[in-house]
Amino acid sequence: MDIISTYLTTSRISQPASLRGKAVRHLELTSIRRLIPIFAAWKALLLLIAVASPGPGYDTSTQVLFDRQRGEYDSWFAHGLEHILLRLTRWDGIYFASGSAHGQVYEQEWAFSWLLSKVTSTVARVLLSPLPLSPISKHALAGVLISHFSHLLAVLVLYNLVYFITPSTDLRKRQLAFTTACLHIISPAGIFLSAPSGEAAFTFFNFLGLLCYAHAIQNRFATFADAFQLDACWTLGAGICFGLATMMRSNGLLSGMIFAWDVLTMLPRLQSILRTRDGEHVTRFLATLAAGALVAVGSAAPQVLAYMEYCTSGNTRPWCTALPPSIYSFVQSHYWNVGFLHYWTLSNAPLFALALPVGWLMVTSALPCLLQTEDLNRAIAGPKEVDARSQPYPPPPQTSTKEEKVFMHCLPRFALPQLVLVGLTATSFHVQIINRISSGYPVWYLILAVQICVTGGWQEAEGGSEGRMGQRGSDPVKEVQSRGGGEEKTVSGLLGVKGLKPEWAVRGMVVYAVVQAGLYASFLPPA
């Protein structure tokens, strides 16, 4: 009976079949399942470019490392797979593969994730041991597989994150989520998300932490009993994910700023909360502190292990007496001259120019989120009037206050670590790495996706016509679009330059990733 009543509703009968079919088609186009073949095609393209890279490369370190352990593995299978792995195990990948095979033997190897090395080592020993490959090839292959798997999971988590926090209609949520996830697939990080490196694993755990945090905030605004307990559980889950992300890459520590922000907003009311023994707010405060502590543990744990190895039993190194005694900071400064303004030399000017586009996108997308600009909120939520004929089923009621509260609470907190990262990269890191470490921060993808959805043709999809994805027609729903027609003007300057066409940003990402794959495989900078 429920099925019959659904099909006999007035709203359903009044909707033309052609419009309904188009709406269903748009749902299929933005399905999360479509991301998998897109992901596979992009990865295959980058892999083909890397494999086609000529010669042994500018630096033969990888070749020397692989030659030492080739031994009796001389089959066509071993040679073919090793050729691919040679092209992917470049730059940082050498340290990850070596650390996986032998542990952190040299001091500078502690700058690369100790945890990821242990994970790849376990995968190589447990799952890849039957393969007729040299030991180092198995560890490199384990790193490549983990990077691909982590990147795919990150894409799926990002889709769910954007869908979850967007306060709009179902179609709008799907459009933004799908577009944002596609942008992450073609991220400027490019081949680094395929190589044995920490970028993909960091991105997955950071996105997962943000999704857990968004669920915590949703429960915080819920009205059912014991919602605060779910809030605390999700908050602790976010802390665990951010802690794991920090163990993959040190910049994961910036995600702890989300919890610091929450604690600072609670402090003015803390005395009153403790005096009244408000169980809900006390639980929330303690859970937030615990989550922040978990992020700190993710940063401190590898440093403690290194201290026990280098600074005990009569051993000592210069960093052992520093406060705090951080092997990571010492290695970065001593071996690679990383420090405040150390990179600000005339010879590095081209690298600053290379980092400028992504850095600019990250800054100009973070600022409206932090300032909670009205233009941004209108652009993401979309037009208030949506024709019922554009929906595959009767449209839901207008956005609830709770959804808007979750969105308004989360977005500025997600933007803050992104903005701070750009400042640190510009002043204290090797500036060109912003092109790859930007992959783990979702806000700039989301804001670029908003511009694409509004100015690139998706807005017609909400109205029921095929827009720029198909043949334009004289559809009556265009009247709805004309009534909300200021939307494109609303986002025209969202990324800092009025009239910027988002397709140029996407083309730049694609070209950069393709060129980067060829240069990376030949061990050529920038990296």
pTM to 2 decimal places: 0.88
**Is residue 369 situated within a structural domain?**
yes
Query: Two tokens at 386?
Result: 């949506």
Report CA-CA distances (Å) from 436 to 321, 325, 440, 454.
33, 28, 9, 27
Q: pLDDT 10s digit of each residue in the chain, 527 long?
A: 443 344 334 344 334 444 456 667 767 788 899 999 999 999 999 999 999 988 777 777 888 888 777 666 677 888 889 989 999 999 999 999 999 999 998 899 999 999 999 999 999 999 999 998 889 999 999 999 999 999 999 999 999 999 999 998 888 899 999 999 999 999 999 999 999 999 999 999 999 999 999 999 999 887 665 677 889 999 999 999 999 999 999 999 999 999 999 999 999 888 887 777 777 888 999 999 999 999 999 999 999 999 999 998 888 899 999 888 999 999 999 999 999 999 999 999 999 999 999 999 999 999 989 987 666 777 777 655 455 455 554 454 444 578 888 999 999 999 999 999 999 999 999 999 999 999 999 999 999 999 888 776 554 444 443 433 333 333 333 333 333 445 555 444 555 545 567 888 999 999 999 999 999 999 888 87
**Is residue 306 situated within a structural domain?**
yes
Which pLDDT value is given to residue 180?
A: 97
Query: Two tokens at 448?
Result: 């670029």
**Is residue 20 situated within a structural domain?**
no
Which pLDDT value is given to residue 494?
A: 56
Which residues, including other chains, have CB under 8 Å from residue 472's CB and lie 6 or more apart?
460, 465, 466
Which pLDDT value is given to residue 13?
A: 35
Neighbours of 499 (CB within 10 A): 7
For residue 38, give the H/E element and its range: helix 35-51
Phi, psi of 31 (to 5 degrees): -70, 145
Contact 177, 446 (CB under 8 A): no
Which pLDDT value is given to residue 62?
A: 82
Residue type, 464: G
**Is residue 458 situated within a structural domain?**
yes
Q: How far apart are CA 49 and CA 432, in angstroms?
A: 21
Query: Two tokens at 330?
Result: 């010492």
Q: How far apart are CA 141 and CA 129, in angstroms?
A: 11
Structural domains counted in the chain? 1
In the chain, what are the helix, strand and coil shares in percent, each to the nearest 5?
Answer: 75, 0, 25
Residue type, 460: E
**Is residue 259 situated within a structural domain?**
yes
Residues composing the chain: 527
Q: Crossing angle for the helix pair 349-371 and 443-455, nearest 10 degrees?
A: 80
Q: Which domain holds residue 372?
A: 196-512
Which pLDDT value is given to residue 9?
A: 40
Which pLDDT value is given to residue 376?
A: 73
**Is residue 112 situated within a structural domain?**
no
Which pLDDT value is given to residue 400?
A: 57
Which pLDDT value is given to residue 358?
A: 96
**Is residue 104 situated within a structural domain?**
no
**Is residue 49 situated within a structural domain?**
no
Q: How far apart are CA 33 and CA 177, in angstroms?
A: 12
Report CA-CA distances (Å) from 450 to 163, 193, 229, 348, 424.
13, 24, 34, 34, 27
Which pLDDT value is given to residue 78?
A: 82
Which pLDDT value is given to residue 495?
A: 57
